[in-house]
Structures are given as structure tokens and as C-alpha cells.
Chain A
Amino acid sequence: MYQKSIVHYMTKISIDILFITAIICCMLVPFSSNWLYLYFGIGDSQALFVKIILLTSGLTCVYILWQLKVIFKTLLKGNPFIHANVSCLRKIALACLGIALIYLVKMFVMPTISTIVIIVIFVVACLLCLTLKDLFKQSIYYKDENDLTV
């Protein structure tokens, strides 16, 4: 039996805030030339490349947050073990891999330690999501068994 917890609501609110913040950040990326120069010393020659990297990875993050919102919606309804969530986790895993690949491209052009850290984090996140997807799949199987036991 699902028990509603304040932790779930707090996580849901955090994801909502992150989702809106991510959209605003993505919208501001095209206007970030001065900021990139001021804080990172990135000139006009590299600004376009960095903006493309930031925008593509930002939009992928928005997509990940959107999928997390879908999962949390079902969790708060009390029925998270559905095939739609397995699909969501698979999409999140693919998106994480996408971000890792985007930063892999960046690493060849502008190698930094933080880029390597991002790549490692998102590859691990991808693997975790794939594992979680399989766990959800197994849970759905057990839930179906239990639901159809009279």
C-alpha cells in the first residue's frame, strides 16, 4: 500500500522549480556572450560553440526533468509501477547518454576537468536509470502477479 510522504512532495516541488529554472536558463543561453566572456574568458570565436553545447545539454536536461515530472505524477497518484514509467526511465537514460556524448564532443575542443566529471556523472546516471528501469519492469511483473492472486 502506497503511503504519501512529505519527502515525495518536497522532491516534486524541487523538480518543478528545477524544470522552470532550466527553461529560463535555456532561453537566456543565446544572450550569454558577455557573461561567458566575463566569468570564463570565452571569446567570440568559441562563444557560439559553447552556446550550442549549453543549449543542447540544457534542452536535454529539460527533457529529463519533464520525464521525472511524469514519473512523480504517477507516484503521487499511488501507482508508479506502470509500463509508462519504464518507458520514461529508458528515455531518461538515453537523455543522460546524450548529455555525456555532448560533453564528450566538448572535451575534444575545450578539455576541462569539470567536463570529464560531467561525462562520468551522466554515464553513471544513464546506467543507474537503465538498472532502475529493469527494477520497475520486475516490480510490474510482481504487482500483476499479486493483483491477479485472489
Chain B
Amino acid sequence: MAIIVQLDVMMAKRKIGLMELAEKINITPANLSILKNNKAKAIRFSTLDEICKALNCQPGDILEYREEEDGEEN
């Protein structure tokens, strides 16, 4: 997918673990893991809002657009 989730980078910068963040934003660690590992197909604005609030960052710090090369899957 052309949109890359860089949640792990932001989490490392803020020195926060997956379980702690999941608890803070009130979603399951499994779902947060899906997001962190770029497996998610979509993200709700409410989730993004919570993540930005918890990590004190902008959506652009978490999401990045990279142009896909031809023939690249997903």
C-alpha cells in the first residue's frame, strides 16, 4: 500500500510500548499491532485522534505516502 504507517517510529521516539499505548487509546493490542505492522486497510478518525493525543503528534508524523513502484503488490 502507498500509505505507510510509521507508528513504531513515533512510539520509539515517545518511548511507549504497544500494550501501554493500546491501553491509553482504548483499543485492543491486536488491533494496534495490525496498524503498527501496516496490515490495516483503514483507520478511523477517532483512532487517529486518540493516537495523536496519546503520542502528542500530528497525523503526518504517523502516516506517510510513498509512491508505489509498478507491479508492487498492495
- Residues of A bordering B, CB below 8 Å: 144-145, 148-150
The 5 closest A-B pairs by CB, nearest first: A148-B41, A149-B42, A150-B35, A150-B40, A150-B31
- Residues of B bordering A, CB below 8 Å: 27, 31-32, 34-35, 39-44, 47
Question: What is the CA–CA distance of A145 and B43 in the complex, to the nearest angstrom?
Answer: 11
CB contacts between A and B, total, < 8 Å: 23
Can you list 21 A-B contacts (CB < 8 A)?
A145-B41, A145-B42, A148-B34, A148-B39, A148-B40, A148-B41, A148-B42, A149-B40, A149-B41, A149-B42, A149-B43, A149-B44, A150-B27, A150-B31, A150-B32, A150-B34, A150-B35, A150-B42, A150-B43, A150-B44, A150-B47
Residues of B with C-beta under 8 A to A148: 34, 39-42
Interface residues of A, dominant DSSP: mixed
Residue of A nearest to B42 (CB): A149
Residues of B with C-beta under 8 A to A145: 41-42
Residue of A nearest to B25 (CB): A150
B3 to chain A, nearest CB (A): 13
Question: What is the CA–CA distance of A149 and B32 in the complex, to the nearest angstrom?
Answer: 10
Residues of B with C-beta under 8 A to A149: 40-44
